[in-house]
Amino acid sequence: DQQVKQNSPSLSVQEGRISILNCDYTNSMFDYFLWYKKYPAEGPTFLISISSIKDKNEDGRFTVFLNKSAKHLSLHIVPSQPGDSAVYFCAASTTFSSGSARQLTFGSGTQLTVLP
């Protein structure tokens, strides 16, 4: 049972326009959410995060929105650039039962292609 879902395997946008990547989750225990970007032959790179006590977090061209009632989050990239072309993973986290750290549960990713 997938607890974190990214229903769009791919997305293409024109350079300069807005990219919107979506993510849905089912586990109400998730209280911290992250977006990672992955280029081929590299590991995922942390992009931006949001705590469940917030509904928006912004960092430069990247903004993450959280709708807890809908169990939905989205990543907005504006303006989109060709260098943003990558696979984007949504991740949701809870604290391990040991209380020692956080466990990340990832979605299956969305391939973003920004066309020049």
Partner 1 sequence: DTGVSQDPRHKITKRGQNVTFRCDPISEHNRLYWYRQTLGQGPEFLTYFQNEAQLEKSRLLSDRFSAERPKGSFSTLEIQRTEQGDSAMYLCASSPQDEQFFGPGTRLTVL
In this structure, what are the phi and psi dihedrals at residue 83, rounded to the nearest 5 degrees? -70, -10
Query: Is residue 101 close enough to count as binding partner 1 by CB under 8 A?
Result: yes
Among 32, 65, 78, 94, binds partner 1 (CB under 8 A): 32
For partner 1, the closer CB: 18 or 29: 29
Cα 88–chain centre separation: 6
Query: Can you tell me which residue has the tokens 């020692």?
Result: 100
| Residue 96 CA: distances (Å) to CA of 29, 32, 50 | 11, 13, 18
- Token digits for 99? 């209380």
The least distance separating partner 1 from the CB of residue 68, rounded to whole angstroms, comes to: 18
Among 65, 74, 102, 113, binds partner 1 (CB under 8 A): 102
Are 44 and 37 a contacting pair, CB within 8 Å?
yes
User: Taking CB under 8 A as the criterion, which residues in 33-62 touch partner 1?
Assistant: 34, 36, 41-46, 49
Among 57, 74, 94, 105, binds partner 1 (CB under 8 A): 105
Q: What is the C-alpha radius of gyration for the chain, rounded to an integer number of angstroms?
A: 14
Binding site for partner 1 (CB under 8 A): 4, 9, 32, 34, 36, 41-46, 49, 89, 91, 93, 96-98, 100-109
